[in-house]
Amino acid sequence: MKHLLPPLPYDYAALEPHIDARTMKIHHDMHHASYVEKLNAELGKYPELEERTATWLLRNRGQVPEAARKIVHNNAGGHVNHSMFWRAMSPDGGGEPTGALADAIKRDFGSFEKFKTRFSEAGSKVFGSGWVWLVSVRQEGGKLQVETTNGHDNPLTQGHFPLLVNDVWEHAYYLKHENRRPDYLQGWWAVANWVEVERRFGLASGPVAGELEDEVGLGVATMA
Band (pLDDT 50/70/90 cuts) for residue 80 is: very high
Q: Are 124 and 185 in contact (CB under 8 A)?
A: yes
Q: Are 11 and 90 in contact (CB under 8 A)?
A: no
Band (pLDDT 50/70/90 cuts) for residue 151 is: very high
Domain spans, the chain: 21-87, 99-218
* Helix, strand, coil abundance in the chain, percent, nearest 5: 55, 10, 35
- Rounded CA separation 27/148 (Å): 20
**Structure-model confidence comparison of residues 137 and 203, the more confident one:** 137
What average pLDDT does the segment 30-48 reach?
96
Cβ neighbourhood burial of 128 (10 Å; 0-12, 13-18, 19+): exposed
The pairing of strands 143-150 and 130-137 is antiparallel
Band (pLDDT 50/70/90 cuts) for residue 219 is: low
The pairing of strands 160-167 and 143-150 is unpaired
What average pLDDT does the segment 105-109 reach?
98
Please tell me the predicted confidence (pLDDT) of residue 223. 74
Residue 111 has pLDDT above 90, yes or no: yes
Please tell me the predicted confidence (pLDDT) of residue 3. 92
- Rounded CA separation 144/200 (Å): 12
Please tell me the predicted confidence (pLDDT) of residue 83. 94
Q: Are 189 and 96 in contact (CB under 8 A)?
A: no
What average pLDDT does the segment 67-81 reach?
96
Residue 25 has pLDDT above 60, yes or no: yes
- Rounded CA separation 143/195 (Å): 20
Residue 210 has pLDDT above 50, yes or no: no
**Structure-model confidence comparison of residues 123 and 205, the more confident one:** 123
- Rounded CA separation 47/191 (Å): 40
CATH of 21-87, one of 3.10.20.740, 1.10.287.990, 3.40.720.10, 3.40.50.150: 1.10.287.990
Whether a cis peptide bond, with omega within 30° of 0, leads into 17 is yes
Query: Average pLDDT, whole number, for the chain?
Result: 92
Q: Domain 99-218 carries which CATH code?
A: 3.55.40.20
Band (pLDDT 50/70/90 cuts) for residue 207 is: low
